[in-house]
Amino acid sequence: WGWLWGIWGLLLGIPITMVIKAICDRVEDLQPIGELLGD
């Protein structure tokens, strides 16, 4: 995220990734993406 948004990307990258992973884990069609984001 740092290369995309600079310093703000570094600060917000982890929370944004956590939210995206939580959404992917809940939506059945997106579960493979959630697996790629981590265990």
pLDDT at 1 over 90: no
- Alpha helices per DSSP H over the chain: 2-5, 7-26, 31-37
The confidence score (pLDDT) of residue 24 equals 93
How many angstroms separate the CA atoms of 11 and 1, rounded? 9
Q: For residue range 4-33, what is the model confidence (pLDDT) as tens digits?
A: 788 888 888 889 999 999 999 999 999 999
Kindly report the pTM of this predicted structure: 0.71
Which of 4-38 are b and which e, b meaning 16 or more Cβ less than 10 Å from the residue's Cβ?
A: eeeeeeeeeeeeeeeeebeebeeeeeeeeebeeee
The confidence score (pLDDT) of residue 20 equals 93
Higher pLDDT, 3 or 33: 33
Question: For the chain, what is the domain count?
Answer: 1
The residue segments making up the domain with residue 21 are 2-37
